[in-house]
Amino acid sequence: MGFLIFGIILLGLVVIVAGMYNNFVKLRNIVKEAFATMDVYLKKRVDLIPNLVETVKGYATHEKETLNQVIEARNKVMGSQSATEREANENALSGTLKSLFALSESYPDLKADTQFLDLQKQLQKIEEDIAQSRKYYNAVVKTFNTKVQSFPANIIAGIFGFKEEPFFTVVESERENVRVSF
């Protein structure tokens, strides 16, 4: 009789551990999917930037430094090796794009150029999509991290190597208004 009770308890523990493990796998995959979705929008933005820079170049040839900073930031994003590095490079790119649009304020002909306006609208839409996908990503990361930190799931997380995922955050410099002076 004791062996039967021990067997039932052991079976119950196996079922609980398997359920927790499967839940971690599910949440981890949701986090990966959320990051991949965000990555699609970030890639769209990266692909749009050369067209935008080329349009601006025609009007603001003496503003090479700003244009070079945008291209350099874009290249860093494309060369990112980790999610943390990607986040930092994306934030830097956002800052250079703000400088680019602030620069366009000084060129009335550029502001009226239909190609520039179209590219600017496309980029604005992509930025909105990125913001929404960052919200979604951070929400699923919060759910995953809460599970990793909660007892008794944290024991299972530790045993199977599930670790907290980083949130996609904005660096402090991104919170400031862009100042352009000539």
Residue 101 lies in a domain: yes
Per-residue pLDDT of the chain in tens (182 residues, 90 and over written 9)? 888 998 999 999 999 999 999 999 999 999 999 999 998 888 888 888 888 777 777 666 656 777 778 888 888 888 888 878 888 888 888 888 787 777 677 766 666 677 777 888 888 888 889 889 999 999 999 999 999 999 999 999 999 999 999 988 876 554 454 443 43
Q: Are 59 and 113 a contacting pair, CB within 8 Å?
A: yes
Residue 68 lies in a domain: yes
Domain, as residue range, for 20 = 2-175
We report the CATH number of the domain holding residue 62 as 1.20.1440.20
- The pTM (predicted TM-score) of the whole model is 0.69
Residue 67's SS3 state is helix
How far does Cα 132 stand from its chain's mean position?
Answer: 10
Residue 182 lies in a domain: no
Residue 181 lies in a domain: no
First to last CA, the chain: 88
Residue 180 lies in a domain: no
Of the candidates 99, 116, 109, the one whose C-alpha atom is nearest the C-alpha of residue 181 is: 99
Q: How many domains are contained in the chain? A: 1
